[in-house]
Structures are given as C-alpha cells and as structure tokens.
Homo-oligomer: A and B are copies of this chain.
C-alpha cells in the first residue's frame, strides 16, 4: 500500500484521515501495549516472564493488554496442558511488523532525547511554553 503521505498532497492537512493517527494511538497509545510488544520482540515468553520483564505492570493490566493484542492478531497465546500450567505468548508476523515501526520510534527517542531534554531545560529558564505560574495570592 502507498504511503499515507503519497495519498494526499504535501500541502494539505489530512481532512479527516487523522483517523489513522487516532487508530494507531488507540492501539498502542496506552500505558503498556508497546512495552509488551517490544518485550516479546526477542522471543516468546510466558505470563510470569512477561510480568518479571516489565517492571511495574499489574496482573490486571498484563492480562488485559495480552487479550487485546491477541484479539487484534498481534500475538498468539498457547496454553500447554501441563501439571504446572504454562502459557506462552508469541508475536505474530503482524505483531513483528508493528514492532518494526515501534523500534523506529524508539530510535527517534534515543537519537533526540538529549536534545529534547536540553530544550526543555532551556525553556524552564526562559519561561517559554511554561504553564502560567501562580502569581500573587490565591483567589480564596
């Protein structure tokens, strides 16, 4: 498929096709999805491995995120009927294709986070882009 950029000229803001952005945001914009996908990028993992590999994630969120990803066909869930239950999660090809795009974003972050941090620090001093600081006494 053609690039979104090709679909519409360079000097026209996307009319309502911001839906693409919305769509990708709804899918990966939540707190854990990208993390789970990137963690599974290297190798299939079981539930407990995922929880251990993703510091701070709760059972509730891990389960929910995995379900959503499975629904969308980004990963597969395989349960082995063993004596201590074992369930493995693995990215599908579709999931890996998302991972590529995600890595591009990660690369961007890696390449520019210093620059951004210093910009932010500079704005701090200048007052640029800062939320209006409380001046004077509060209203009440």
Contact = CB atoms under 8 A, between A and B. Distances in A.
B109 A24 contact: yes
Nearest to A10: B42
B71 A123 contact: yes
A61 interface: no
Contact of A25 (B4, B24, B29, B101): B29
A88 to B, nearest CB: 14
Given A71-B119, A110-B4, A113-B23, A18 B131 contact: no
A3 interface: yes
Interface in A68-105: 68-74, 77, 94, 97-98, 100-105
| Prevailing SS type, chain A contact patch | helix
A67 B29 contact: no
A45 B12 CA distance: 12
How many chain A residues sit at the interface, stated as a range, is: 35 or more
Q: What's the number of copies of this chain in the assembled complex?
A: 2
Given A18-B54, A106-B24, A73 B119 contact: yes
A103 B4 contact: yes
A122 B35 CA distance: 25
B21 A31 contact: no
Interface in A17-52: 18, 20-25, 27-31, 34-35, 38-39, 41-43, 45
Contacts of A112: 94, 97-98
